[in-house]
């Protein structure tokens, strides 16, 4: 069994030092890997990323992240990524990484993704150059995630992204902004390449649980959606379980 | 050229929503803005008290003739108490 902890949209700023870490103290007790689904920072500065690195320091499990739209705002995403990587965070953009958990191999493929909308109500590479560029960017990043997933030959595969691959997990958001929240191209990429789970964020007003047309679990882990410091999902387990922190160890009793 | 701000409630709400995303003191895209004559109501969740207070400051600059009702809450999200098995 592999235990995946995940959260998105932590929006760490220089005013956030020390706020996240106390709620991450037990990650290594309850999970084998910690995934960050973009919008790691508030404005996309490397200084904010450095605060996040401090919050994640010594977590005890591999930390894997993708960037979100906030992480691009300062046009310093290259520096930001470098800061995270120097701090031990693996950052994915059309790339993958493998975590070995007691001989079971978990592959994580990821990328930011982008908007564009969902089948039958989406943009297309037509018209003004700006519109073509918008949709080209979406198509290009979805393709990167598909190729990264296809390259994995592991026991389990997780697709990590910031934008939503399905409309299911947007329920609660205003319908008018769906094209800014995700793209069906992401779900199509996942279904073509195969995965056990998709993790995303971005849609703060959305819903946690969804599924792609191909039957892959989708979880929106934006912090305001899950309303906790992170969510824990198990792959290869049998049942839901409660988590106890009594003696800093997991006491998992079936519900 | 920037679009001139308007006191028409619907347009003012739009400009406020954009400014709350674009102003670096706030940088929040998820704040819900409702404008009625003389009043601005703001709801949503942010992660620090400082960010909530900055919303009031910025909203007041955009709509100085309106009373700002900042009903944004500060999220205190705890450690999880359950895990979900995906089968």
Residues of A in contact with B75 (CB under 8 A): 223-224, 227
Query: Residue B3: which residues within 8 A CB-CB, separation 6 or more?
Result: B15
Cβ atoms A250, A244 nearer than 8 A: yes
At B74 the pLDDT is 92
CA distance B21 to A124: 26
pTM (predicted TM-score): 0.93
Q: Give phi and psi for A237, each to the nearest 5.
A: -90, 180
Angle at A186 between CA A181 and CA A190, to 5 degrees: 145
ipTM: 0.89
Task: Please tell me the distance from the alpha carbon of residue B44 to that of residue B41, in angstroms, as a whole number.
Answer: 10
Burial letters A215-235, b for 16+ CB under 10 A, else e: ebbbbbbbbbbbebbbbbbbb
Residues of B within 8 A of A115 (CB-CB) are none
Query: Tell me, what's the pLDDT at A255?
Result: 28
The secondary structure element, H or E, covering residue A56 is helix A46-56
**Maximum CA extent, chain B:** 56
Q: What is the pLDDT, as a whole number, of residue B75?
A: 87
Note the helical H segments in A117-200. Answer: 129-150, 178-181, 184-193
Output the pLDDT for position A63: 98
User: Which residues of chain A are within 8 Å of residue B82 when distances are taken between CB atoms?
Assistant: 232, 240-243, 255
Q: What is the DSSP string of A183-215?
A: BHHHHHHHHHH--SEEEE---TTS-SEEE-TT-
pLDDT at residue number B84: 96
Q: Which pLDDT belongs to residue A246? A: 47
**Residue where the block lists tokens 């069906």:** A184
Percent of chain B having pLDDT more than 70? 93
Q: Is the pLDDT of residue B3 over 60?
A: no
Residue B28 has pLDDT above 50, yes or no: yes
CA A81 to chain B, closest CA, distance in angstroms equals: 20
Phi-psi region of B85 (alpha: psi -120 to 50; beta: other; left: phi over 0): beta
Test the B interface: residue of A240, A252, A255 with most B CBs within 10 Å: A240
Residue numbers in B near A204 (CB within 8 A): 29-30, 45
pLDDT value, residue B76 = 83
Query: How distant is the Cα of B27 from the closest Cα of chain A, in angstroms?
Result: 7
Low-confidence residues in chain A, pLDDT < 70: 238-242, 244-255
Closest CA to A95 of A137, A37, A149: A149
What is the distance of C-alpha A238 from the center of its chain? 24
Band (pLDDT 50/70/90 cuts) for residue B87 is confident
Confidence of residue B4 (pLDDT cuts 50, 70, 90): low
- Which of B29, B30, B83 is the closest to A233 by Cβ? B83
């Amino acid at each position: 069994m592999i235990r995946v902890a995940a959260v998105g949209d932590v929006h760490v700023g220089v005013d956030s030092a020390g706020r996240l870490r106390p709620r991450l103290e037990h990650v290594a007790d309850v999970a084998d890997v910690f995934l960050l689904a973009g919008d790691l920072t508030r404005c996309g500065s490397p200084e904010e990323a450095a605060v996040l690195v401090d919050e994640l320091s010594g977590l005890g499990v591999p930390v894997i992240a993708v960037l979100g739209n906030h992480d691009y705002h300062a046009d310093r995403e290259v520096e930001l990524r470098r800061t995270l990587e120097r701090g031990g965070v693996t950052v994915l953009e059309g790339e993958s990484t493998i975590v070995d958990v007691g001989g079971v191999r978990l592959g994580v493929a990821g990328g930011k993704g982008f908007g564009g909308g969902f089948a039958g109500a989406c943009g297309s590479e037509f018209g003004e150059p700006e519109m073509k560029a918008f949709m080209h960017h979406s198509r290009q990043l979805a393709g990167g995630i598909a190729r990264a997933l296809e390259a994995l030959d592991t026991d389990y595969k997780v697709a990590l992204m910031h934008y939503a691959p399905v409309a299911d997990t947007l329920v609660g958001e205003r319908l008018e902004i769906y094209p800014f929240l995700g793209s069906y191209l992401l779900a199509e990429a996942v279904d073509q390449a195969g995965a056990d789970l998709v993790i995303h964020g971005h849609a703060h007003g959305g819903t946690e649980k969804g599924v792609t047309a191909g039957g892959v679990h989708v979880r929106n882990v934006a912090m305001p959606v899950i309303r906790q410091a992170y969510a824990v999902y198990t792959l290869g387990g049998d049942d839901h379980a409660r988590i106890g922190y009594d003696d800093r160890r997991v006491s998992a009793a079936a519900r | 050229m920037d679009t001139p701000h308007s006191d028409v409630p619907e347009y003012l709400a739009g400009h406020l929503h954009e400014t709350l995303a674009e102003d670096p003191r706030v940088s929040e895209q998820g704040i819900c803005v409702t404008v009625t004559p003389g009043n601005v109501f703001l709801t949503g969740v942010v992660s620090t008290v400082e960010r909530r207070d900055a919303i009031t400051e910025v909203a007041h600059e955009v709509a100085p003739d309106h009373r700002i009702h900042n009903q944004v809450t500060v999220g205190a999200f705890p450690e999880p108490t359950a895990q979900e098995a995906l089968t």
